[in-house]
A = this chain, B = another copy of it.
Amino acid sequence: MDFKKMLANNHVKPYLLKARYGIEKESQRVDLSGNLAKTDHPKSISIRDEHPYIQRDFSETQMELITPVTETLKELFDYLAAIHDIACRSMGDNEMLWPLSMPPQLPKKDEDIVIAKLKSVENVRYRQSLSHLYGRRKQMICGIHFNFEFGDELIQALFNIQSEIKDYRQFKEEIYLKVTRNYLHYRWIVTYFYGTSPNSEENFFEEDSLKRAVRSIRSSKYGFTNSDDVKVSYSSIQNYLSDLSLMIKRGLLLEEKELYAPMRLRGGHHVSDLANHGVHYIELRNLDLNPFETYGISYKQSEFLHLFLIYLLWKDEGNNCDEWVKLGDLYNDAVALEHPLEHTQFEIDAKKIIDEMEHVVEILDLSISDTLFVHLRDMLMDPSKTLAGRLYKESEKSSQSKVATYIAKENYKKSWDKPYQLTGFTDMELSTQILMSDCLQQGIQVEVLDRQDQFLKLQLKDHVEYVKNGNMTSKDSYVSSLIMENKTVTKKILQQHEFRVPKGEEFQTIEQALRSYDLFSTKPFVVKPKSTNYGLGISIFKEGSNYEDYQKAITLAFKEDSSILLEEFIKGTEYRFFVLNDKVYAVLLRIPANVKGDGKHTIEELVIQKNSNPLRGRDHRTPLESIQLGELENLMLKGQGYQMDSIPENDEIIYLRENSNISTGGDSIDVTDQIPDEYKKIAVDAVSALGVEICGIDLIIENTEVPAANKNAYGIIEANFNPSMYMHIYPYKGKSRRLTMNIIHYLFPELLQSQESKVVKLGVPLAKCESTTVT
């Protein structure tokens, strides 16, 4: 088949870059001095053997991070970053990940390397056999596996324009076999650019078999390889599989998965899938950890690999395919064992490959980063710019171990910098980020169905739950959310159930509302839009109002909604009760945006100072919102006889807002433990009257020490169908309430049934956040 011609076909070109990706990344856990960790795999991670994201490889210290399959490289790196964050935070603040493929200094005795303490006896036994065969040291080498699948549309388009092969599965196999053979032949170029294991730590090799620096120990014959007798043919899947069976029969391999080839043909999750379903994807296994990238591999490197694989499909191969692959092994070993600062012996071939790849990009109209080829040519001309060259040069100044420890620490700091964020997903709402963090840690699979819409698919084994905006779930009924969305309906239902709600009326026109002035003029009352959120358009008159202000407030409210409510104002303090499944999990007191005077600074300066707290930001992406200095704040100050440049006295509290919403800069204070149970019962009963499972219900209580049964002891202001969770998780003051975890346990009660996951708190030291708050 003439792939050169086929790939350039107009029916094929639109799909050329369609692909699916996955990454597996191994790293050793070390302490803050760079010594191999002596601890077990973190307890805070659900320690199921089948954790989808964070597992152990050979040893107990060897953490393996696994991304889900993604359809874009961006998504791939988002997940890799997120899983990385969670793995690091779960390790606690005394450990970090070693950034090199070659392990840190290992124990002198091989048997002091602890084999992963897995539950499956079979898996432990397999690792024991490996340690007998290869020694435990060699199994401690880490790397990246890059899983790659050509888009189905692409293969389908290629299939459609040829008539040589009638069977789709066979056609697909041919494609992957060609790419595999060419990869095995040309992989030395990957070793040249991205090989990064120049040196090992003392005593790594039992005999000092390799004393000099090289490009990649791991990719060389000194690395992670089978014995020379292990040979399989890539001429066809049948031959490949029968060779593999033969190796096992002869006792050269324990299992099929022991074949440490630089590229593996994969039929699916299980080895047997290849024979049953044909090739599904390929696994590139010859990638060293890139220490200069936090996540062990760069975006550009992945882009190169994708392009390289297309190029290898395009590129003609040698006639004798087994010979072709064998030659590749020789070339690769030669390049791997070159000195990291030395020009490669295949420089001319490498130049030709780069030129050809650039040509392919051109004729196939591929959109690839502009700088990729500049970068590749740079590295080719100057070996010190290759990864191995860079690491070698850095290590010259001190030692490879010190360089690695320094890098590990920088990464460690990064993962603790904003512990409330989930790197890779910081554009999503904060509550969703925290929920995703907890899911990743608990081993619940997270698929982002719609990023803009905060729509998640969560899965634990066969159990699927869909969640939007952190707590819109299958547990609540459709109509109950609609009830809460409609303040009039909410009030009517609560009233019918004999809860106290503010008396009031709904109006559809300004004229109607003005006619009812007499009903409200002399009493405390509130004007608010019927269905908007975040306290917009609300006016409060604590002592009644004159007609002019009444008119203004009504006009303001109608700007936000086509219906408004006029309600009696219930005096007291407003508390937000977070109710889940008939239980109050958190109670929050929200204090309107305010600053505390020091007798020196102006109000404006105090606001700027308070806003400098890193927990304050904008648009629900930080735990607290910045205090604004807009029209409403100015009006509020004016009402108290202040201006922006007034200097309040020491300890004087100046309020900048009437409403206490966190979204307008309010302070959140957890009071869960201080609120009497009888008020919690009212919250639970009211939520139950609305038929709701997850609800943020706002109660005004004049005095929490007065019995709740007293007349007018409380009033219910609002029931919110998508209550903010992050404000309870990261309160300005008080105890954190990890509601996202409560949501997870509510959705997946089976998590609590398994003994092991009773320890479920994410290892985020909240004290770190609290200590940075300005009080």
Query: How close is A94's CB to chain B, nearest CB, in angstroms?
Result: 40
The distance in angstroms between the C-alpha atoms of A73 and B149, with both chains bound, is 70
Q: In the complex, are the beta carbons of B489 and A479 less than 8 A apart? A: no
The distance in angstroms between the C-alpha atoms of A519 and B14, with both chains bound, is 5
A503: chain B residues within 8 A (beta carbon): 153
Q: In the complex, are the beta carbons of A477 and B478 less than 8 A apart? A: yes
A492: chain B residues within 8 A (beta carbon): 449
Measured CB to CB, the nearest residue on chain B to A692 is: B478
> Interface 1/0s, chain A 120-154, versus B by CB < 8 A?
00000000000000000000000000000000010
A518: chain B residues within 8 A (beta carbon): 13-14
A 443-496 contacts with B by CB, 8 A: 449-450, 452-453, 455, 457, 466-468, 472-483, 486, 488-489, 492-493
- Judge whether A242 is part of the interface by a CB distance below 8 angstroms: no
- Judge whether A676 is part of the interface by a CB distance below 8 angstroms: no
Query: How close is A454's CB to chain B, nearest CB, in angstroms?
Result: 10
Contact of A453 among B449, B450, B486 (CB under 8 A): B486
- Judge whether A384 is part of the interface by a CB distance below 8 angstroms: no
Query: How close is A92's CB to chain B, nearest CB, in angstroms?
Result: 34
- Judge whether A508 is part of the interface by a CB distance below 8 angstroms: yes
Q: In the complex, are the beta carbons of B449 and A488 less than 8 A apart? A: yes
Contact of A477 among B14, B476, B488 (CB under 8 A): B476
The distance in angstroms between the C-alpha atoms of A450 and B487, with both chains bound, is 10
Query: How close is A547's CB to chain B, nearest CB, in angstroms?
Result: 14
The distance in angstroms between the C-alpha atoms of A563 and B451, with both chains bound, is 12
The distance in angstroms between the C-alpha atoms of A481 and B468, with both chains bound, is 11
Question: Taking A13-B518, A14-B518 as contacts, is the C-beta distance between A479 and B486 under 8 angstroms?
Answer: no
The distance in angstroms between the C-alpha atoms of A481 and B478, with both chains bound, is 7
A572: chain B residues within 8 A (beta carbon): none
> Interface 1/0s, chain A 279-295, versus B by CB < 8 A?
00000000000000000
Query: How close is A428's CB to chain B, nearest CB, in angstroms?
Result: 15
- Judge whether A691 is part of the interface by a CB distance below 8 angstroms: yes
Q: In the complex, are the beta carbons of B13 and A489 less than 8 A apart? A: no
The dominant DSSP class at the A interface is mixed
Measured CB to CB, the nearest residue on chain B to A490 is: B449
A–B pairs, 24, beta carbons within 8 Å: A14-B519, A15-B519, A153-B503, A449-B488, A450-B486, A450-B489, A452-B508, A453-B486, A455-B482, A455-B483, A455-B486, A466-B480, A466-B482, A466-B489, A468-B479, A468-B482, A472-B478, A472-B479, A474-B480, A475-B478, A476-B477, A477-B477, A477-B478, A481-B481
Measured CB to CB, the nearest residue on chain B to A367 is: B515
A473: chain B residues within 8 A (beta carbon): 477-479
A 145-190 contacts with B by CB, 8 A: 153
The distance in angstroms between the C-alpha atoms of A455 and B482, with both chains bound, is 9
The distance in angstroms between the C-alpha atoms of A153 and B503, with both chains bound, is 10
Question: Taking A13-B518, A14-B519, A518-B13 as contacts, is the C-beta distance between A467 and B479 under 8 angstroms?
Answer: yes
Q: In the complex, are the beta carbons of B479 and A474 less than 8 A apart? A: yes
Query: How close is A458's CB to chain B, nearest CB, in angstroms?
Result: 11
A153: chain B residues within 8 A (beta carbon): 503
Q: In the complex, are the beta carbons of B475 and A477 less than 8 A apart? A: yes
A721: chain B residues within 8 A (beta carbon): 478
A479: chain B residues within 8 A (beta carbon): 466-468, 472-474, 476
A482: chain B residues within 8 A (beta carbon): 455, 466, 468, 472
A 484-540 contacts with B by CB, 8 A: 486, 488-489, 492-493, 503, 508, 518-519
Q: In the complex, are the beta carbons of A450 and B488 less than 8 A apart? A: yes
A-B interface, 6 closest residue pairs, ranked by CB to CB distance from nearest: A476-B478, A14-B518, A474-B477, A449-B489, A14-B519, A478-B481
Query: What is A's interface to B at a CB cutoff of 8 Å?
Result: 13-15, 153, 449-450, 452-453, 455, 457, 466-468, 472-483, 486, 488-489, 492-493, 503, 508, 518-519, 563, 691, 721
Query: How close is A485's CB to chain B, nearest CB, in angstroms?
Result: 9
A15: chain B residues within 8 A (beta carbon): 519
The distance in angstroms between the C-alpha atoms of A15 and B14, with both chains bound, is 72
A452: chain B residues within 8 A (beta carbon): 508, 563
Query: How close is A688's CB to chain B, nearest CB, in angstroms?
Result: 13
Copies in the complex: 2
A457: chain B residues within 8 A (beta carbon): 493
The distance in angstroms between the C-alpha atoms of A340 and B271, with both chains bound, is 102
Query: How close is A576's CB to chain B, nearest CB, in angstroms?
Result: 20
The distance in angstroms between the C-alpha atoms of A245 and B752, with both chains bound, is 65
The distance in angstroms between the C-alpha atoms of A770 and B728, with both chains bound, is 59
A481: chain B residues within 8 A (beta carbon): 478, 481
Query: How close is A743's CB to chain B, nearest CB, in angstroms?
Result: 12
A466: chain B residues within 8 A (beta carbon): 479-480, 482-483, 489, 493, 691
The distance in angstroms between the C-alpha atoms of A483 and B478, with both chains bound, is 11
The distance in angstroms between the C-alpha atoms of A477 and B694, with both chains bound, is 12
Measured CB to CB, the nearest residue on chain B to A492 is: B449
Measured CB to CB, the nearest residue on chain B to A447 is: B492
A450: chain B residues within 8 A (beta carbon): 486, 488-489
The distance in angstroms between the C-alpha atoms of A604 and B493, with both chains bound, is 51
A483: chain B residues within 8 A (beta carbon): 455, 466
Instruction: Identify which of A477, A492, A508 gathers the most chain B CB atoms within 10 Å of its CB.
Output: A477
A478: chain B residues within 8 A (beta carbon): 472-478, 480-481, 721
Measured CB to CB, the nearest residue on chain B to A520 is: B14
Q: In the complex, are the beta carbons of A489 and B14 less than 8 A apart? A: no
Measured CB to CB, the nearest residue on chain B to A482 is: B468
Beyond the given A15-B519, A449-B486, A475-B477, could you list 5 further A-B residue pairs with CB under 8 A, ordered by the A residue number? Answer: A452-B563, A455-B486, A466-B493, A473-B478, A475-B478
Contact of A691 among B453, B474, B488 (CB under 8 A): B474
Query: How close is A534's CB to chain B, nearest CB, in angstroms?
Result: 20
Query: How close is A27's CB to chain B, nearest CB, in angstroms?
Result: 32
Query: How close is A68's CB to chain B, nearest CB, in angstroms?
Result: 13
Measured CB to CB, the nearest residue on chain B to A467 is: B479
The distance in angstroms between the C-alpha atoms of A346 and B496, with both chains bound, is 47
A14: chain B residues within 8 A (beta carbon): 518-519
The distance in angstroms between the C-alpha atoms of A489 and B453, with both chains bound, is 10
The distance in angstroms between the C-alpha atoms of A473 and B153, with both chains bound, is 41
Measured CB to CB, the nearest residue on chain B to A153 is: B503
Instruction: Identify which of A473, A478, A493, A691 gathers the most chain B CB atoms within 10 Å of its CB.
Output: A478
A488: chain B residues within 8 A (beta carbon): 449-450
A508: chain B residues within 8 A (beta carbon): 452
The distance in angstroms between the C-alpha atoms of A476 and B153, with both chains bound, is 36
